[in-house]
Amino acid sequence: MTLGTNIRTYFNGTWHKGDVPIMSAADHGSWLGTTVFDGARYFEGVAPDLKEHCARVNRSAAALMITPTVSTDDMVALVWEGLAAYPKTSAVYIRPMYWAIDGGDMGIVPLENSTGFAICLEEVGMPDFSNASTLTTTQFQRPVLASSVTNAKAGCLYPNNARMLAEARAKGFGNALVGDIMGNVAETASANVFMAKDGELFTPIANNTFLAGITRARHIKNLRADGIKVHEKILTFDDFRGADEVFLSGNFSKVQAVSQFDDVHYQTGPLTKRARETYWDWAHSDAS
């Protein structure tokens, strides 16, 4: 199932129109789940932090013992080559990905230098900022590095995300606020999370149970430069229940307001709006 429309795929050294097949049934990635990807965005003629996303997919591959085969700079150039086929008015989801092809050592460990690589571009509109999400709790937790590759953006982590999201939707909410193994807030089922209290912003400190996102880091930098105090610290579910504002941070929508956490309601307040404004200003600046 595709996410968007007007798909273009880079595979085997060239760009193809459409959603072309890229894996074989016996590929290591097909049957043992050794897949990594990253997501960047093109909108309004810009692709913010594209180089950082391309660099991270190479780090993710290495974390799964998949040999990266495309340099960050070459990957950036390939993405821009593919984006040339889209109008500047398009919003495009950019997804570079690797997977292991062959396995050594009983077939389980990915074989070095046996790597598949592709880039998928899909037209997907930017979500409407006025459409706030809602949050609830979930019985599921974020894993730890000792048991899962939490230092990678890996496909094998997403079934856990999916069951969190499915549980939240079954309860009538848009997303789940997720705890770590210690019972503190980590992020949501699909994005990092910020909360505002008394004019300051707070976000869970990175503790190797979740991927501290590129967009999350960009918000922290932008907002601090704007004079807003942003704290990375241990946060509880009660902290979020007592928050003045909550918003989600991720590549797909950049900033998404939250209007409700269980029976607690929030307004889309000034710090949520400022996070979006500073991001858009930065994205259209020469610094992006």
pTM for the full predicted model: 0.95
Q: Taking 80 as the threshold, does the pLDDT of residue 214 lie above it?
A: yes
pLDDT tens, 234-276? Answer: 999 999 999 999 999 999 999 999 999 999 999 999 999 999 9
pLDDT tens, 143-201? Answer: 999 999 999 999 999 999 999 999 999 999 999 999 999 999 999 999 999 999 999 99
**Using CA atoms in the order 143, 186, 138, 251, what is the torsion angle rounded to 10 degrees?**
-100
With cut-offs at 50, 70 and 90, classify the pLDDT of residue 216.
Answer: very high
Q: Return d(Cα 174, Cα 4) in angstroms, integer.
A: 20
Q: Return d(Cα 257, Cα 214) in angstroms, integer.
A: 18
Q: Taking 80 as the threshold, does the pLDDT of residue 287 lie above it?
A: no
Helix axes 50-63, 72-83, angle to 10 degrees: 130
Looking at the chain, the whole-number percentage of residues with pLDDT higher than 90 is: 96
Q: Taking 60 as the threshold, does the pLDDT of residue 1 lie above it?
A: no
Domains of the chain: 5-123 (3.30.470.10), 133-283 (3.20.10.10)
3-state secondary structure of 225: helix
